[in-house]
């Protein structure tokens, strides 16, 4: 079958699957405590897709060209027995890469069984190396040492190189960029510096808080000269650089100042089975209703193909053109 293309000729290659909307952190740029407090109503368990339902949908996406699935949340390691889902996905024909993004809080205890189940790669969110700054961002006082232990455990289990995602916010942790770069230089791991994005509507995003890719790159390059690398695959969101002294690689994700909508190949599936074709979308397409309404595998595949064929999203390009902001789904609901 020919690969499905959207209205801007972008193929469907990547699927991010949120397995839970819950998280044990309250990062200010994602799930601020003022909104996601003790009384916040998370999804009841019965509304979450089962592992069997996720696997059925994953087969439909694989049929339409998806070769990579990334498990996200919320915090995906809060979902009990998530390694069983990894093993189920690993058996799907056409899927060549199964990855997971985590805050690292439970990674040390789970890395080996995730690798044994078929996980290929892991990305860890870590916004600073000192506890004061890190605690100010995760807002639950979680210590850096336990995240670093998770990274070490992932590497020991064979999940290296680990990617380290650092969201950089002006006046909060922008002065920690070179410290992070220095820590991960000379290791197999890849630090990725991410511009603070206007995901959802609760994180108080302002353009003034964005540290641009140009600024971040200049800070690192001034200390350790860099040179560009070719993308690892079409549609890669991070611009890659290597240290000229051979000490490894670093990436920059610049969806605010350098939008990459034109090459976006990602779909996102929420924990309750809604398909979003853009990180900045407001509404999703309900696939859970089709699953639980008795749809056949062929009907699910046709639904996926139809949704992607109609896709025309290019939010980041429009934002750069100063289009008025609009309401968007929260990142914790569909993953980053």
Q: Which residues lie below 8 Å from residue 214, measured CB to CB, with a gap of 6+?
A: 257
pLDDT, tens digit, 9 for 90 and up, residues 103-122 = 999 999 999 999 999 999 99
Per-residue pLDDT band at 258 (split at 50, 70, 90): confident
Question: Does pLDDT of 287 surpass 70?
Answer: yes
Question: Does pLDDT of 323 surpass 50?
Answer: no
* Annotated domain spans of the chain: 14-334
pLDDT, tens digit, 9 for 90 and up, residues 188-226 = 999 999 998 776 555 556 788 899 999 999 999 999 999
| Measured distance CA(54)–CA(257) in Å, rounded | 34
Range of lowest pLDDT (31-35, 56-60, 109-113, 127-131): 31-35
Average pLDDT along the chain: 92
pLDDT of residue 13: 96
Superfamily (CATH H level) for 14-334: Aldolase class I (3.20.20.70)
| Measured distance CA(305)–CA(66) in Å, rounded | 11
pLDDT, tens digit, 9 for 90 and up, residues 289-312 = 999 999 999 999 999 999 999 999
Give the residue among 191, 195, 194, 184 at the shortest CA–CA distance from 250. 191
**Which residue's entry shows tokens 């699957």?**
17
pLDDT of residue 327: 62
pLDDT of residue 280: 78
pLDDT, tens digit, 9 for 90 and up, residues 149-177 = 999 999 999 998 999 999 999 999 999 99
Q: Is 29 exposed, middle or buried (0-12, 13-18, 19+ CB in 10 A)?
A: buried
Tell me if 283 sits within 8 A of 223, measured CB to CB.
no
Q: What is the mean pLDDT of residues 262-274?
A: 94
pLDDT of residue 260: 76
Question: Does pLDDT of 316 surpass 90?
Answer: no
Question: Does pLDDT of 320 surpass 60?
Answer: no
pLDDT of residue 34: 86
């Amino acid at each position: 079958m020919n690969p499905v293309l959207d209205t801007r000729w972008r193929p469907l290659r990547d699927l991010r699957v949120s397995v839970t909307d819950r998280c044990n952190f309250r990062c200010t740029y994602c799930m601020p405590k003022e909104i996601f407090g003790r009384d916040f109503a998370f999804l009841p368990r019965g509304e979450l897709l089962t592992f069997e339902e996720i696997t059925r949908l994953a087969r439909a996406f694989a049929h339409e060209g998806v070769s990579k699935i990334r498990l996200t949340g919320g915090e995906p390691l809060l979902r009990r027995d998530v390694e069983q889902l990894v093993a189920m996905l690993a058996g799907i024909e056409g899927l060549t890469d199964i990855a997971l993004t985590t805050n690292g809080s439970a990674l040390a205890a789970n890395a080996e069984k995730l690798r044994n189940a078929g996980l290929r790669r892991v990305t860890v969110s870590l916004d600073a190396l000192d506890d004061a700054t890190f605690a100010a961002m995760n807002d639950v006082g979680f210590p850096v040492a336990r995240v670093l232990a998770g990274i070490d455990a992932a590497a020991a289990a064979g999940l290296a190189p680990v990617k380290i995602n650092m969201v950089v916010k002006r006046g909060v942790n922008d002065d920690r960029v070179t410290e992070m770069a220095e820590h991960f230089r000379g290791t197999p791991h890849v630090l990725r510096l991410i511009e603070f994005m206007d995901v959802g509507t609760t994180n108080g995003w302002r353009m003034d808080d964005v540290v641009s890719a140009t600024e971040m790159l200049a800070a690192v390059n001034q200390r350790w000269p860099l040179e560009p690398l070719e993308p690892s695959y079409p549609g890669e969101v991070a611009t890659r650089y290597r240290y000229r002294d051979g000490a490894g690689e670093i990436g920059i994700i610049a969806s605010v100042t350098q939008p990459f909508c034109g090459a976006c190949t990602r779909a996102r599936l929420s924990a309750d089975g809604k398909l979003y074709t853009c990180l900045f979308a407001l509404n999703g397409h309900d696939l859970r209703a089709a699953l639980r309404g008795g749809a056949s595998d062929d009907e699910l595949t046709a639904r996926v193909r139809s949704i992607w064929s109609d896709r025309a999203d290019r939010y980041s390009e429009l934002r750069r053109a100063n289009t008025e902001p609009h309401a968007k789904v929260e990142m914790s609901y569909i993953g980053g």
